[in-house]
């Protein structure tokens, strides 16, 4: 299946596998070379998609935009930082081609009309909307007019805002998917809101998932168990790297573990077990590991069996230990030595 078809499959079938999205965000710190390296690492780790953020400072921010956290000593303002994160159209096209060569879906969050236009030229198969843009209905409508699927992050939005965003996308003729997320970096477990995944599914009847900022693999695996069809995680080569998202990221080695864990869960959920049939198929093991009723001591002919006369030992090929009440009060018709299994032929 081609990378683009994996995204199409998400909307075509509820049985589609969970789409694993590796988020680079600003980990590249403005370096094209640094932006290219995680693409190879994500592909090696088994991700389905790689996601960037496309910032065009003059189109999305005013010079007075405040810092969330002043983390960059080389940038005087937040605007300066966004300016340094920009790539040219040719550079974005190169990143997209690199991703496709590695079998990955190329995605990037657009924060302006200009960013949408730029990304359209790279052939992105869908749109990812960051939590801060969910209320930007003009931008959502602009994306949705392409007919390509729109993936919304719900991190900062109440239900009425999510309702409006979903209506906007669908009204413009595009399919929608929604990610539960909490805009906290890193996000503690008590704020993950895993319960919201099912609420989103029921409310909007669309593919749902988790955009995880916990910096662990646990939340993603839990989300897969709850039926998430998309899982997005920030990645980094090391937690010692520079950048505002590193504390909320997992390493590329951990990404491999997460992907393997999600696929494990999917296989388990996709193969329900018939308990009776499974037990029957394990009968040979039951006889090896189960317990049989044996004589606790030497017993003579005519002895009436009490519970004290019985011991319960392996193997389980004799009368099962669960039947001990059936033997209580029965009379032996022949002697039984200690540790010998009882059989029906031993009793009158």
CB-CB neighbours of 299 under 10 Å:
21
* pLDDT score at 1: 61
* pLDDT score at 224: 97
pLDDT digits (tens, 9 = 90+) for 191-213: 999 999 999 999 999 999 999 99
Joined tokens for residue 214: 């916990």
Q: Whole-angstrom Cα distance, residue 230 to residue 147?
A: 20
Q: What is the mean pLDDT of each successive set of 10 residues along the chain, which is 348 residues long?
A: 79 92 86 89 97 92 83 82 89 96 96 97 96 96 97 94 98 97 91 97 97 96 97 89 80 97 96 92 91 97 96 95 96 97 95
Strand partners, 106: 50
Q: Whole-angstrom Cα distance, residue 54 to residue 229?
A: 24
* pLDDT score at 97: 97
Q: Are strands 292-295 and 310-313 parallel, antiparallel or unpaired?
A: antiparallel
Domains and CATH numbers, the chain: 3-269 (3.20.20.70), 276-346 (3.90.1210.10)
* pLDDT score at 17: 94
The owner of tokens 């921010």 is: 61
- Contact by Cβ (8 Å): 187, 213: yes
């Amino acid at each position: 299946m081609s990378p683009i078809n994996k995204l199409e499959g998400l909307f075509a079938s509820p049985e589609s596998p969970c789409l694993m999205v590796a988020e680079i965000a600003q980990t590249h710190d403005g370096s094209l070379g640094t932006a290219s390296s995680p693409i190879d690492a994500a592909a090696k780790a088994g991700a389905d998609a790689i996601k960037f953020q496309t910032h065009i400072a003059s189109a999305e921010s005013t010079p007075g935009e405040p810092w969330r956290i002043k983390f960059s000593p080389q940038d005087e303002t937040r605007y300066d930082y966004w300016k340094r994160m920009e790539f040219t159209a040719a550079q974005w096209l190169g990143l997209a081609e690199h991703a496709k060569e590695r079998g990955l879906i190329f995605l990037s969050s657009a924060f302006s009309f200009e960013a949408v236009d730029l990304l359209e030229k790279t052939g992105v198969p869908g749109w990812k909307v960051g939590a801060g843009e969910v209320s930007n209905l003009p931008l959502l409508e602009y994306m949705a007019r392409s007919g390509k699927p729109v993936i919304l992050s719900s991190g900062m939005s109440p239900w009425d805002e999510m309702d409006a965003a979903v209506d906007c996308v669908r009204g413009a003729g595009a399919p929608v998917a929604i990610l539960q997320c909490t805009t906290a970096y890193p996000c503690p477990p008590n704020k993950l809101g895993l319960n919201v995944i099912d609420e989103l599914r029921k409310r909007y009847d669309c593919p749902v998932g988790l955009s995880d900022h916990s910096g662990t693999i646990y939340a993603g695996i839990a989300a897969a168990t709850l039926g998430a069809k998309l899982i997005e995680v920030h990645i980094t080569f090391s937690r010692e790297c520079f950048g505002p998202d590193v504390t909320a990221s997992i390493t590329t080695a951990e990404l491999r573990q997460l992907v393997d864990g999600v696929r494990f869960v999917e296989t388990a959920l996709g193969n329900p077990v018939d308990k009776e049939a499974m037990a029957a198929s394990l009968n040979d093991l039951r006889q090896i590991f189960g317990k049989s009723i044996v004589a606790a001591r030497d017993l003579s002919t005519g002895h009436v069996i009490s519970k004290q006369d019985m011991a319960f030992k392996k193997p389980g090929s004799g009368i099962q230990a669960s039947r001990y009440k059936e033997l209580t009060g029965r009379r032996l018709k022949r002697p039984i030595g200690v540790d010998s299994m009882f059989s029906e032929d031993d009793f009158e």
